[in-house]
A and B are shown apart, each in its own frame.
Chain A
Amino acid sequence: MKFQSQKIAYWFFASAMLLLVLQIVYGFIMGFARIGMDGLHEWIPFNTARAVHTNLLVVWLLLGFMGSAYFIIPEESDRELMWPKLAWVQLISFLIVGVVAVIGYHLNYWEGRKFLEIPRALDYLVVVNVLAFIANIGFTIWNGKRYTTTSIVLFFGLFTAALLYLPGMIDFDNQTLDSFYRWWVVHLWVEGVWELIMGALLCYLLIKLTGVDREVVEKWLYVIVGFTFLSGILGTGHHYYYIGAPKYWLMIGGIFSALEPLAFLGMAIYALAMAKKGGRRHPNKTALNWTLGSAIMSFVGAGFLGFAHTLPQVNMYTHGTLVTAMHGHMAFWGAYAMINLAMIAYALPILTGRKLWDNAASSYGFWLSNIGMVGMTGALAVAGITQVNLERRMGLDFLAVQTEIEIHFVGMILAACLFFLGICFYLYNFWRFGLPTDEAASSDVRAAEELPTVS
């Protein structure tokens, strides 16, 4: 750690990990409800569990992104953070808003729009909060000693993510328009600007972990995020096929969203190529595993499994079935959960000055959680395909089909246990690092992290 103000990142990461655990707890509540064990229905009905599960996911990922930005931006700009105290205020207020929202979901206080359930009053607080964050890193970059592509792309991603939150706050009496603009947030986030954030974090990690020359790594970053927007913006059309929007979206959404996997494929090839070029000389093997893992799993989950149901002819039958949930899990995991876990694995030794980078617990954490997630996705895939065939193609009743596929949720829960065990190992390691220290700035961990550049 070079700058004292980077320490704040630790607290963002720690909060993110706490929310990850809670997210998983609510995932289990839903999994059990699906096999008939819905004893909590009176207090936590399915819609509450679901809103908590998906919102905590988004919130912990955002906390991870913010923590990563607070870690990376000072280093890239070569100066202390502009307002370290503001970062603290921002963290605490963000958590308070999150906690209030989650409590509200248990009291039927919400907006009932998928992924944007946060009630309107709290939306405004989120906006103020994010403005503070953007200002803090923005001015740090502005007043910094150097401007790097990595920090510019990261900032651009975070800034546009904040901007795109706004269309989700427009009110309509028309359900179609409501949905139309809701996707400006949800789709343009995960298949647009968040990919910029992911790309920037990937780029930063590759520079640090492989030692390949910055110019080379950053050049390809532009190419990849170029592909992201080229396909992803018009790819929004894959959500407009069947919601009451004009028919031309079938053509436009179909073609452009079918190109979206290219950006993820690009990311996977890019990461593997850089790792090969630079060799694996960095001592933090765990961070490199998570980095490469994220590039690969995001291609599988978002690229491959997204493509599987993105053509309008297929989507007609899979739209709104468990096939979507199958894709949602692996895509979020591979692209955004794993890149955050990579960032955390990379940053912890530097923040705390401890050399715990490579050990048994960290390997178990990586492998068990990934194998578990593959199993969960597989179980959802079997359930989803069966549902599509029985309900959408043969016309059987919804609940009759749900009874038929219940058994796959037993499988999913088993895989989820494996997944959770992996996460526990990861967290155990997190805990063993202890708290960030002032001495970390001068510790020899930093020296060990410095690699000679490969060009």
Chain B
Amino acid sequence: MLTKLQAKVFFLGGTAVFFGIFLVLSFDTHLKVPNQTNAANITPAVAAGKRIWEENNCMGCHTLFGEGAYYAPELTKTVEIRGKDWLKVFLKDPEAMFPGQRKMVKYNFTEEQIDNTIAFLDWCGKVDLNGFPAKPPLRDKMMAAAPQMAVSSGPAPLKKPVPAVFTTGTCIGCHQIQGQGGAAGALIGAPPLDDVFRRYDRAKLEAWIKDPPSIKKDTKMPKLYGLAVNDAQLNEIVDYLLSLNPETAAATPSAVAPPAAPAPAVQPK
């Protein structure tokens, strides 16, 4: 039978051996991490962004690399998903973007702080995380099962270059236009805008962009007017969207369908 001394030797010996292996592996990891994380790209802006990340305990609500809290979204790929312009507007006033939703603290960051934070998140998004976050394995199957939900039912879109205002106004982060953008939108139900002229006329489009919840109360579209879109830009956006109508590029089409406000692309239930 095992004696106390043998048990003690098992404990001390095992601990020494495995701690030794752990130290060696950690040393190796320490040497390899700079390469795997593109440490050369850690500019002063990225480092400053990391400090902002820490000083405000963003990890107390969000996860980054899957670490943190589970109250707010995972941010590793956020720059890729939302785009920098969108994030810039969002960080100025998070609640304005998602009214009535779970609240985020409004930090009153300076432009520079916002840029640094985004630089940090951009760097994070490019770290080789051994495949994390995985592409949702069931998404394609679901999309295949419900093609009519995912694809716009309008006519073949007219190829027309998308003006810059759709990027600065952050629209393209959520909406697909002329086959571009829309990464974030498919998930919150932002529809492609190529055939929006069929549903909305000029007045309705303007009203919608000025204040989405006034037309559809529980919409997930943020109120961008005043934040990322001014009057001139609003005009430019509406002009362009109406100009996509192949029949009457100039005339004002009447609203034929009831306002098809954004509905989730895929119903959770």
Are A and B bound to each other? yes
Chain A, 316-362, CB within 8 A of any chain B CB? 316-317, 319-322, 324-325
Q: Does B109 contact A (CB under 8 A)?
A: no
Q: Report the minimum CB–CB distance from A173 to chain B (whole Å).
A: 4
CB-CB under 8 A from A149, the residues of chain B are 4, 8
The answer for the CA separation of A160 and B160 in the assembled complex, in Å, is 66
In angstroms, Cα B129 to Cα A17, docked, is 41
B3 on the interface (CB 8 Å rule)? yes
- Complex contacts, B66 vs chain A, CB 8 Å: 242-243, 319-320
Contact B105 A45 (CB under 8 A): yes
- The answer to whether residues A112 and B56 also contact, given A174-B39, A242-B131, A316-B134 and a CB cut-off of 8 A, is yes
Contact A222 B11, CB 8 Å, known A46-B60, A108-B56, A396-B268: yes
Q: Does B247 contact A (CB under 8 A)?
A: no
Query: Is there an interface contact between B61 and A226, defined as CB atoms closer than 8 Å?
Result: no
Q: Which residues of A contact B231 (CB under 8 A)?
A: none
Indicate which residue in A230, A244, A249, A392 contacts B127 across the interface (CB closer than 8 Å).
Answer: A244
Number of chain B interface residues as a range: 35 or more
Q: Is the CB of A175 within 8 A of B124?
A: yes
For the complex formed, measure the closest distance between the CB of A288 and the CB atoms of chain B, giving whole angstroms: 25
Q: How large is the interface on A (under 10, 10 to 19, 20 to 34, 35 or more residues)?
A: 35 or more
Q: Is the pair B138, A394 in contact by a Cβ cutoff of 8 Å?
A: yes
Instruction: Give complex CA distance A215, B4 in Å.
Output: 7
The reply to whether the CB of A220 lies closer than 8 angstroms to some CB of chain B is yes
Q: Give min CB distance, A324 to chain B, whole Å.
A: 7
| A180 interface hit (Cβ, 8 Å) | yes
| B198 close to A (CB within 8 Å) | no
The reply to whether B127 and A234 form a contact with Cβ atoms under 8 Å apart is no
Contact with A along B52-94 (1 / 0, CB 8 A): 0111111111011111111111100000000000000000000
Closest to A177 in B: B33
Q: Would you call B25 an interface residue if the criterion is a C-beta within 8 Å of the partner chain's C-beta atoms?
A: yes
* Segment with Cβ contacts to B, from A33-41, A204-212, A267-275, A367-375: A33-41
Chain A CB within 8 A of B165 CB: no
* B-side contacts of A105, CB under 8 Å: 57
B156 nearest CB across to chain A (Å): 27
Specify which chain B residues have a CB less than 8 angstroms from the CB of A46 in the assembled complex.
Answer: 60-61, 69, 71-72
CB of B130 within 8 Å of the partner chain: yes
A244 to chain B, nearest CB (A): 4
Q: Provide 26 A-B residue pairs closer than 8 Å at the C-beta atoms, listed in order of the A residue.
A: A41-B103, A46-B69, A110-B57, A111-B54, A113-B54, A114-B59, A114-B69, A175-B120, A175-B127, A176-B37, A176-B127, A215-B4, A222-B7, A222-B8, A222-B10, A229-B19, A230-B15, A233-B18, A233-B21, A242-B66, A246-B28, A248-B25, A317-B134, A319-B66, A399-B220, A400-B264
Which residues from chain B sit less than 8 Å from chain A, CB to CB? 2-4, 7-8, 10-11, 14-15, 18-19, 21-22, 25-26, 28-30, 32-34, 36-37, 39, 42, 46-47, 50, 53-61, 63-74, 98, 101-103, 105, 120, 124, 127-139, 142, 187-188, 220, 264, 266, 268
> What are the 8 A-B residue pairs with the smallest beta carbon separation, nearest first?
A47-B60, A395-B136, A320-B66, A242-B132, A112-B57, A222-B7, A395-B139, A397-B187
